[in-house]
Amino acid sequence: MKKPEKKNIKKTPLPTKEQILAFIRESATQVGKREIARAFNIRGEDKIGLKALLRELSVDGAVEKGAKRHLGRRGALPPIEAIEITHTDKDGDLFAKPVNWDSSEPPPTIIVIQPRFKTGFKGRFRPLTVGVGDRVLAKITAAGDNTYEARAVKKLAAAPARLLGVYKVDEKGGRLLPVDKKYRFEVVIAREDAGPALSGDLVAAEVFHQPHHGPQRARVIERLGDINASNNLSLIAIHQQGIPHAFNDEAVAQAAQAKAAPLGDRVDLRNIPLVTIDGEDARDFDDAVFAEPDTDPTNAGGWHLLVAIADVAWYVRPGDALDKDAYARGNSVYFPDRVVPMLPEELSNGWCSLKPHEDRGVLAAHMWISAKGKLLRHKIIRGMMRSAARLTYTQVQAARDGTPDEITAPLMDKVIGPLYGAYAALEEARATRGTLELNITERKIIVDRETNQIIGVEPRARYDSHKLIEEFMIAANVAAAETLAVSAYPAVYRIHDRPDPERVQGLQEALQTLDLKFPDAGAARPAEFNRLLSQVRGGPNENMVNTLVLRTQAQAVYSPENIGHFGLGLRKYVHFTSPIRRYSDLLVHRALIAAHKLGDGGWNPKQDPDLVAVCEYISMTERRAALAERQTVDRFTAAFLADRVGAVFRGRVSGVTRFGLFVNLDETGADGILPMRNLPQDFYDLDERGHRVIGRRNGLQLRVGDIVDVRLKETDKVAGGIVFEYAGMTKTGARERSNSGREAPRLQSRRAPKKAKRRR
């Protein structure tokens, strides 16, 4: 029998490496050798050649093997990956990056698609809500060249990208003592993971292993130096709060190339004796002021004011490198020993600083006010000025009080005198509209600039010269707000909401214990708060009432929607006067330039930002800066008091809690904790309504505002902690058991069980 002839099977040529890589890249599903063979119709013995080709791609590093022998291009993401959501775009879409990305190449673009999952109740779905900063486990799908879509499956516990702490080495090995006392995990650092760090160094570490049980493991990614160096106290806050402190190379180059703004179409203001008034240690001067009597006969006793502000918008254009860095910072951050500026030094201390006797471009507000300080009209211009003098608050106040120096003496009649005359009118308007007048003392840390050592802590001085500048700035901010309110361009308003009714009710209850009354929340206006504050001014309850009133207030924020400013008693308000140090002011400048057609650097409709997101972000950066500044002041103060452990100080109780009292020292303004265990031995009950603690047996009562003597027990400069122990009370502050022997009423904390006891 004749055997059948073999058919000639036409061989399919093998695909090129480029074709295979393109197929892997564009495939919406996982790819292996089988999928590639099917796609290119490779059969029989030809698969041997395909296998060799794939091996070459793997050796070359072009592809790598994943689970179940699936292939992916080098750096491609697996189907399930842990990602961290980093930011949103103008449209509100979420973007993320892989949590464990150790490649030197930039990470891929990951667009987060909000998923839905079953609740288990009638098959209904609800979203897994995720936002910026969240870490999630996500299903990953290729969506294009180095772009993926991610659908979150579940949230993961967020580990800090950088954990700041002190590296210590002992007989057990290396470990990290986090500066954040809320971080409760034990962290070990092996010798090979410590890099150049020495025991006692402040370091930034990265946690790379988080077991369910046992200590976490971390590696040092940056050595910041000996923790005992005072300049590291501010570095702790910078790193802990994630404050950007290094400009990108492009922004630095752009700032270095900046030149003087030309006169061009600017209004020439150089013959007007504008002056800057700042603190002694200020290096950037972004506002200058001038005042003169109004010559209009219909405005008898009125004033003409001029506030000139550095023209930052001329140098920082929408979307350029400087703008991106300025937005990332949101604002400058001021520490006792350094400044983290919003703009590079060439601008913040150079072309945008109104230095004396040098031409500078400005945006200026002409304002005409009545004798009672009412703003009658205003005009925004773009000009060129030349500062007549760089003055300080102390210097101007001394001149006003009759002791001018060689700089202020020639300025008394034409500059300083008229400034105070206009200030008196503005102050009258302030009183009329009922601006909230809180008396809160700030601390000033005095640092030796050469040695960087702390040489003192004292309450910050408060002069009429400070108030003068504040009132001029407020007037200019109002003029800018009213200009934008009737323009076609958006405004970034500075808003301050009314106090929350529940907080007002809490204030009412606390005031009842002091035999003081306050109206209901609906009638609470700044004037009512001021009336209350005037009742206690100079008395033993002044500090307590000021503190309680402050706690009722909402936090001021930025918003494109205007609701007014409650604390200042103003219907329209923006920040216009500090574009060197606040991004909000730069946005206002751009809108004003566009609204009045004042030239280049105005609002760019092609790069119109999402103002809702922008306002939320810069409000956050402001809170971040305030927290960092406050924490650093606490650390510097703790370091300054470290060698005075055992000394007795006088202070006032500023707060009461279940675990102890907060005390503010008169001498330095330092805040510390007086734990219950450090009070005279007794059981103490917390009276939340009366803001006090009461000893059950000895009748000792300590209320917010009481004067108390405390002994410094310990300090912790890394955490900024100060701990006191009770050393006695003054007669005016003591509320002890009466001579009849009758004990003070036993009051129970609302948060504690009825019969819970307090130890000492």
Q: Which of 257-266, 524-533, 734-743 has the highest mean pLDDT?
A: 257-266
Q: What pLDDT score was predicted for residue 531?
A: 87
What is the pLDDT of the chain when averaged over all its residues?
Answer: 83
Above 60 in pLDDT, residue 186? yes
* Pick from 57-71, 93-107, 504-518: least confident: 57-71
What does the pLDDT look like over 252-298, one tens digit per residue?
999 999 999 999 999 999 999 999 999 988 878 999 999 999 999 99
Q: What pLDDT score was predicted for residue 26?
A: 60
What does the pLDDT look like over 682-712, one tens digit per residue?
999 988 878 889 999 988 999 888 889 999 9
d(CA 590, CA 606): 13
Query: Looking at per-residue confidence, does 132 or 646 come out higher?
Result: 646
Q: Which of 4-18, 563-577, 608-622 has the highest mean pLDDT?
A: 563-577
Above 90 in pLDDT, residue 138? no
- List, in sequence order, every residue forming a beta bridge with 187; answer none if it has no partner: 176, 216
pLDDT band at 737 (very low <50, low <70, confident <90, very high): very low
First-last CA distance in the chain = 111
Q: What pLDDT score was predicted for residue 119?
A: 43
Above 80 in pLDDT, residue 520? no
Q: What pLDDT score was predicted for residue 580?
A: 96
Query: Looking at per-residue confidence, does 183 or 348 come out higher?
Result: 348
Architecture of the structural domain at 163-228: Beta Barrel (2.40)
Architecture of the structural domain at 80-156: Beta Barrel (2.40)
Above 80 in pLDDT, residue 721? yes
One-letter amino acid at 536 equals V
What kind of fold does domain 645-760 have according to CATH? OB fold (Dihydrolipoamide Acetyltransferase, E2P) (2.40.50)
Q: What pLDDT score was predicted for residue 91?
A: 65
Which of 559, 578, 404 is CA-nearest to residue 495?
Answer: 559
Above 80 in pLDDT, residue 754? no
Which residue pairs from 481-488 have beta carbons closer than 8 angstroms and sit at least 24 positions apart in sequence?
A: 481/572, 481/573, 481/574, 481/576, 482/375, 482/378, 482/572, 483/378, 483/380, 483/592, 483/595, 483/596, 484/574, 484/588, 484/591, 484/592, 484/595, 485/562, 485/572, 487/591, 487/595, 488/595
* Pick from 73-82, 138-147, 161-170, 603-612: least confident: 73-82
d(CA 700, CA 395): 47
Name 369's Cβ contacts closer than 8 Å, sequence gap at least 6: 294, 302, 303, 305, 375, 376, 422, 425, 426, 429, 475
Q: pTM, whole model, 2 decimals?
A: 0.73
CA 132 to chain centre: 16
Q: What pLDDT score was predicted for residue 752?
A: 37
3-state percent helix, strand, coil for the chain, nearest multiple of 5: 30, 30, 45
Q: Where in the chain is the domain with CATH 1.10.10.10?
A: 17-73
Q: What pLDDT score was predicted for residue 131?
A: 74
Q: Where in the chain is the domain with CATH 2.40.50.140?
A: 80-156, 645-760
Cβ–Cβ < 8 Å for 423, 472: yes
The rounded percent of the chain whose pLDDT value lies above 70 is 84
Above 80 in pLDDT, residue 453? no
Structural tokens at position 675:
């734990």
Strand locations in 99-162 (E):
109-113, 116-118, 125-127, 135-144, 147-156
Q: What pLDDT score was predicted for residue 732?
A: 46
pLDDT band at 181 (very low <50, low <70, confident <90, very high): low
Mean pLDDT for the stretch of residues 387-410 = 96
One-letter amino acid at 607 equals Q
For residue 211, count CB atoms less than 10 angstroms from its CB and return exposed for 0-12, middle for 13-18, buried for 19 or more: exposed
Above 80 in pLDDT, residue 103? no
Cα torsion angle, 405, 406, 408, 413, sign = positive
Cβ–Cβ < 8 Å for 311, 352: yes
What does the pLDDT look like over 37-89, one tens digit per residue?
777 778 777 777 777 777 776 655 555 555 444 554 444 666 777 788 877 76
Q: What pLDDT score was predicted for residue 284?
A: 83
Q: What pLDDT score was predicted for residue 409?
A: 96
Query: Looking at per-residue confidence, does 427 or 283 come out higher?
Result: 427
Which of 494, 375, 493 is CA-nearest to residue 430?
Answer: 375
Q: What pLDDT score was predicted for residue 424?
A: 97
pLDDT band at 538 (very low <50, low <70, confident <90, very high): confident
Above 50 in pLDDT, residue 484? yes
For residue 395, count CB atoms less than 10 angstroms from its CB and return exposed for 0-12, middle for 13-18, buried for 19 or more: buried
What does the pLDDT look like over 220-236, one tens digit per residue?
988 888 887 767 888 88
Above 90 in pLDDT, residue 406? yes
* CATH number, span 17-73: 1.10.10.10
Above 90 in pLDDT, residue 32? no
Cβ–Cβ < 8 Å for 58, 69: no
Helix axis angle, 583-595 relative to 611-641, nearest 10°? 140
Structural tokens at position 453:
């050592």
Alpha helices (H) in 652-725, listed in sequence order = none
d(CA 576, CA 474): 9
pLDDT band at 479 (very low <50, low <70, confident <90, very high): very high
Query: Looking at per-residue confidence, does 675 or 608 come out higher?
Result: 675
